[in-house]
Amino acid sequence: MPGDASTEDEQAVISFAEGTFAKRSHESAVRVRLTPIDPLTVAPPPKGFRFDGNAYRIVASYAASGSQAGLTKRAMVVLRYPVHATVMLRSSRDAWTSLPTTRFGESQQVAANTDQLGIFVAAAPAGIAALSPGPWVPAIAAAGALALAVALARLRRRRTARS
């Protein structure tokens, strides 16, 4: 049966079609687990790239036996990234392999089809510096919250005045 699995915060999702996992006698379900990990504990980024967020270990097992369930068809992995990712990487033993990737900049997501499970991470070109929040970020957030509170108070007053 088709389906998907994700982390609780939906930073990583895997979607699969009917027949993606091999049928097995006495098995009616497959459990898919996505676990965030530090990508630097797997391998350094490929030359010219830097990691842009957590890596995610994706494993699948048959529910009854707990045996590993491999893919018989491609599945789609979608990862959210914090800053500038352009590509998805998959771990290949002690190195990373670049996957053909679709980037959705507006929602800060990268998507790639994969023929095997494993560890996946979003990556950005090394020349693009990661943004770090400066001292002005909290001030902007506070000003935005104050503006929103003022707008809501005005809206309430207008509604009360009309009643």
pLDDT along the chain (163 residues), means of 10: 85 90 84 93 92 94 88 93 93 89 92 94 81 50 56 60 61
pLDDT at residue 56, rounded to an integer: 96
Bridge partners of 3? Answer: 16
Compute the distance between CA of residue 78 and CA of residue 76 in angstroms, rounded to an integer.
7
Task: Please state the pTM of the whole predicted model.
Answer: 0.76
Residue given tokens 């091999």 in the structure block: 22
* Spatial contact of 48 and 87, defined as CB atoms under 8 Å apart: no
Give the pLDDT confidence score for residue 2 in this predicted structure.
75
Question: How far is 93 from 16, CA to CA, in rounded Å?
Answer: 24
